[in-house]
Amino acid sequence: MDSVNTYISVLHGSLRKKLELVKELLEFTKEQNIILNEDDVDIDSFDKIVSEKDIRINEVLEIDKGFDSVFNKIGSTIKANPQEYRQQILELQNLIRTITDIGVEIEGLENKNKEKFSKFILAKREEIKDFKKSNNTAASYYKNMSNQHQEWKSYFVDRKN
């Protein structure tokens, strides 16, 4: 029983750590939203946030693995004696609910950010396409102009005084 309480304490601690990480992920996602709403998107800042989010997501995945491992050790004991661990179970459930609510909020923001990012990428592709078109036009103009004067052609200039 004492070891079960220790394991429950470990589960509680891992959920608190996961909650902190999920809150950080929410803040990063909000920052991305702000960046994507700007007229001049700072892609370096956006990329930096993506890297930071990736680190947090990997930490959350590790916590989930650990949580599952510990829960598999004591899950049957807790299920067999739910009244004995009622208070701890309620605390764990509340943490899980809070984490899930934040996860839903992150998912909604991520969907909005994805849509805004897709529009940003589409606009940048158009800019690149226009730039290439302008470049090709200028290159062909200069090519044609340079071919106008060739040494083997003679030029006659009439001057009437």
What stretches of the chain show up as alpha helix (H) in DSSP? 2-37, 43-80, 86-146
Question: What is the structure's pLDDT at 146?
Answer: 65
Residue 76: exposure state from Cβ atoms within 10 A (0-12, 13-18, ≥19): exposed
Question: What is the structure's pLDDT at 52?
Answer: 96
Question: What is the structure's pLDDT at 113?
Answer: 94
Q: What is the mean pLDDT of residues 103-130?
A: 89
Q: Side chain identity at 2, as an amino acid letter? A: D
Point out the least confidently predicted range of 18-27, 77-86, 104-113: 77-86
Going by the DSSP 8-state scheme, the letter that residue 38 receives in this structure is S
pTM listed for this prediction: 0.76
Distance, CA of 5 to CA of 15 (rounded, Å): 15
Please give the helix or strand (H or E) that residue 158 lies within, else none.
none
Question: What is the structure's pLDDT at 133?
Answer: 72
Q: Rounded mean pLDDT of the chain?
A: 87
Question: What is the structure's pLDDT at 102?
Answer: 97
Is the pLDDT higher at 134 or at 51?
Answer: 51
Q: What is the mean pLDDT of residues 13-19?
A: 97
Strongest mean pLDDT among 28-32, 83-87, 142-146: 28-32
Q: What is the mean pLDDT of residues 16-45?
A: 94
**pLDDT at residue 49 tops 70:** yes
Sequence-ordered list of residues with C-beta below 8 angstroms from that of 6, at least 6 positions apart, any chain = none
Is the pLDDT higher at 159 or at 32?
Answer: 32
Is the pLDDT higher at 141 or at 58?
Answer: 58
